[in-house]
């Protein structure tokens, strides 16, 4: 049975939460496979808004099972908070399972995240301070604590006794004055482990049997291709692999199941955090995009997002490194009311045309955009857009359709879903 992978194609915040919620309607299982509480997925149900960091976006649908795979790093206190808050809002959250192999974010990871960011100066990515870099450092360095350790008090205590003194020395060497208390950390985290234990299973084995029974699986990417540790704007991205192939590693399924690979792209570009951004805008158009965007402010950090025109150089690379088979284009409504809409088709650097996204941040920062201009489309209210969505693609204003068709021709993949508002109804699916 083929599975769908939905991944971000830009710098995260493409509207994946909404698209995944839309697709989850037809999925039996939703799986997170990378990232951690640095992610922020916004889902709207009726008038209610939910912002999830660790919970998979299918958790509000009772018949959908939600897995947190081994590739995710879990901050247990944050996950429990999300579970509790979602329960208080009337959802029982019985449809959740967590991989026994997922790594755990510990308090010293967050301390080290802040210290490392400070010491890095201009190399700092402007992280979410969720301890993401340090927890992945520990995973690769084999200092990590996994969910199977968190729910096993004896192992947890033994590991903390070995690891905490090392982290204390690191904190001091980095100039930090925080004092770690291994016993206090043990007590707090063993309690988290006890509460989370009923959810912890071998998710890879569970998925294998679901696939064999013909269940429809949806893999939910977090962040985006250009934040990927391997393919992103290194060192200004995140510490996990954010591309479609990571679903295989981060959930423990064979790559042959990943046949339907949907990239989510916003009709413009945004990013939170540092790093070169060739199509970045300032001034009234940037304000328009930020404010109409329903508040382009980081879901996790509330920082104002940097915004710019859609960048097809970035997106062409995303098509390639993910093997995208289709695109979901979001927030087309946000461009409404602008006289002119632009799409970057190439870069210019030193009098040369640059068609491939550079690896070097020095070279990327020298790249200026080459734009194709489009006539804009009128601004409609949310209700108008829902009316258009109900009538389907052909009801979109002609100028909008031209813009979408141009993106399809440049990327050589179909735009399968168009989103024109936050709600489930403001979605045109094919
Ligand atoms: P970290 O993942 O917290 O280490 O942050 C590394 C970089 O990725 C920073 O520039 C963050 O702003 C950015 N980042 C991480 N997660 C997300 C996300 O879910 N959406 C948007 N940006 C993100
Ligand atoms: Mg987000």
Q: How confident is the model at residue 42 (pLDDT cuts 50, 70, 90)?
A: confident
**Distance, CA of 394 to chain centre:** 30
Closest to 100 measured CA to CA, from 79, 74, 70, 80: 70
CB neighbourhood size of 136 (10 A): 20
Note the pLDDT tens digit of each residue in 231-253.
999 999 999 999 999 999 999 99
**Ligand 1 atom with the shortest distance to the CA of 125:** 10
Encoded tokens for 133: 């870099």
Note the pLDDT tens digit of each residue in 388-400.
999 999 999 999 9
Burial (0-12, 13-18, 19+ Cβ within 10 Å), 177: exposed
Residue 40 reports pLDDT greater than 80: yes
Encoded tokens for 253: 């399924």
**Residue 11 Cα, ligand 2 centroid: separation in angstroms?**
9
Residue 125 reports pLDDT greater than 70: yes
Instruction: Tell me the pLDDT of the chain averaged across its residues.
Output: 95
Residue 178 reports pLDDT greater than 90: yes
Q: Which range, of 11-25, 145-159, 359-373, averages the lowest pLDDT?
A: 11-25
Q: How confident is the model at residue 430 (pLDDT cuts 50, 70, 90)?
A: low
Q: What is the mean pLDDT of residues 48-69?
A: 94
Look at strands 96-99 and 48-52 and give their pairing: unpaired
Q: How confident is the model at residue 44 (pLDDT cuts 50, 70, 90)?
A: confident
**Residue 304 Cα, ligand 1 centroid: separation in angstroms?**
13
What is the reported pTM? 0.96
* Partners of residue 375 on adjacent β-strands: 340
Q: Please report the pLDDT score of residue 298 as a whole number.
A: 72
Q: What is the mean pLDDT of residues 129-140?
A: 98
Closest to 98 measured CA to CA, from 65, 141, 64: 65
Q: Which range, of 9-23, 177-191, 354-368, averages the lowest pLDDT?
A: 9-23
Q: What is the mean pLDDT of residues 41-66?
A: 90
Pocket test for ligand 1, best of 122, 273, 298, 302 (most atoms within 8 A of CB): 273
350: left (phi over 0), alpha (psi -120 to 50) or beta: left
Closest to 356 measured CA to CA, from 311, 405, 326, 324: 311
Question: In 305-372, where does DSSP find H-type helix?
Answer: 312-322, 361-365
Give residue ranges with CB within 6 A of ligand 1: 11-13, 38-40, 125-128, 130, 132-133, 222-223, 227, 236-239, 272-274
**Residue 398 Cα, ligand 2 centroid: separation in angstroms?**
30
Cis peptide before 191 (omega within 30 of 0): no
Pocket test for ligand 1, best of 7, 12, 133, 232 (most atoms within 8 A of CB): 12
Note the pLDDT tens digit of each residue in 155-174.
999 999 999 999 999 999 99
Encoded tokens for 51: 């912002």
* Partners of residue 304 on adjacent β-strands: 297
Q: What is the mean pLDDT of residues 218-227?
A: 98
Q: How confident is the model at residue 1 (pLDDT cuts 50, 70, 90)?
A: low
Note the pLDDT tens digit of each residue in 206-219.
999 999 999 999 99
Burial 69-89 (b: 16+ CB within 10 A, else e): bbbbbbbbebbeebbeebeee
Note the pLDDT tens digit of each residue in 271-330.
998 999 999 999 999 999 998 876 677 777 778 889 999 999 999 999 999 999 999 999
């Amino acid at each position: 049975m083929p599975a769908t992978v939905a991944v971000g194609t830009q710098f995260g915040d493409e509207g994946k939460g909404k698209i995944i919620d839309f697709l989850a309607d037809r999925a039996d299982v939703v799986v997170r496979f990378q990232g951690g509480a640095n992610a922020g997925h916004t889902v709207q149900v009726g008038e209610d808004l939910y912002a999830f960091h660790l919970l998979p976006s299918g958790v509000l649908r009772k018949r959908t099972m939600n897995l947190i795979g081994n590739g995710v790093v879990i901050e247990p206190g944050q996950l429990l908070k999300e579970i509790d808050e979602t329960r208080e809002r009337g959802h029982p959250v019985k449809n959740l399972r967590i991989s026994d192999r997922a790594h755990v974010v510990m308090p010293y990871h967050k301390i080290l995240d802040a210290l490392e960011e400070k010491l890095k100066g201009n190399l700092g990515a402007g992280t979410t301070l969720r301890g993401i870099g340090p927890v992945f450092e520990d995973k690769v360095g084999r200092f990590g604590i996994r969910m199977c350790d968190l729910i096993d008090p004896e192992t947890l205590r033994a590991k903390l006794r070995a690891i905490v003194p090392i982290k204390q020395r690191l904190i001091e060497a980095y100039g930090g004055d925080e004092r770690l208390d291994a016993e206090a950390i043990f007590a707090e985290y063993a309690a988290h482990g006890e509460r989370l234990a009923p959810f912890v299973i071998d998710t890879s084995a569970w998925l294998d049997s679901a696939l064999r029974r013909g269940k429809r699986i949806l893999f939910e990417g977090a962040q985006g291709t250009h934040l990927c540790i391997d393919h992103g704007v290194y060192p200004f991205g995140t510490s996990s692999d954010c591309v479609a192939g990571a679903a295989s590693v981060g959930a423990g399924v064979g790559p042959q199941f990943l046949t339907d690979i949907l990239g989510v792209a916003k009709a413009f570009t945004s990013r939170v955090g540092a790093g070169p951004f060739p199509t970045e805008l300032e001034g009234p158009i940037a304000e328009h995009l930020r404010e109409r965007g329903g508040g382009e402010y980081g879901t996790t950090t509330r920082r104002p997002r940097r915004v710019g025109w859609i960048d097809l150089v970035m997106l062409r690379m995303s098509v390639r490194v993910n093997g995208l088979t289709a695109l979901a284009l979001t927030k087309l409504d946000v461009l409404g009311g602008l006289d002119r809409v632009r799409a970057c088709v190439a870069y210019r650097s030193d009098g040369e045309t640059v068609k491939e996204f550079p690896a070097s941040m020095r070279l990327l920062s020298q790249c200026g955009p080459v734009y194709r201009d489009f006539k804009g489309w009128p601004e409609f209210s949310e209700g108008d857009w829902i009316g258009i969505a109900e009538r389907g693609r052909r009801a979109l204003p002609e100028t909008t359709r031209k813009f979408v068709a141009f993106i399809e021709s440049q990327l050589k993949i179909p735009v399968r879903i168009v989103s024109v508002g936050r709600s489930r109804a403001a979605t045109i699916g094919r």
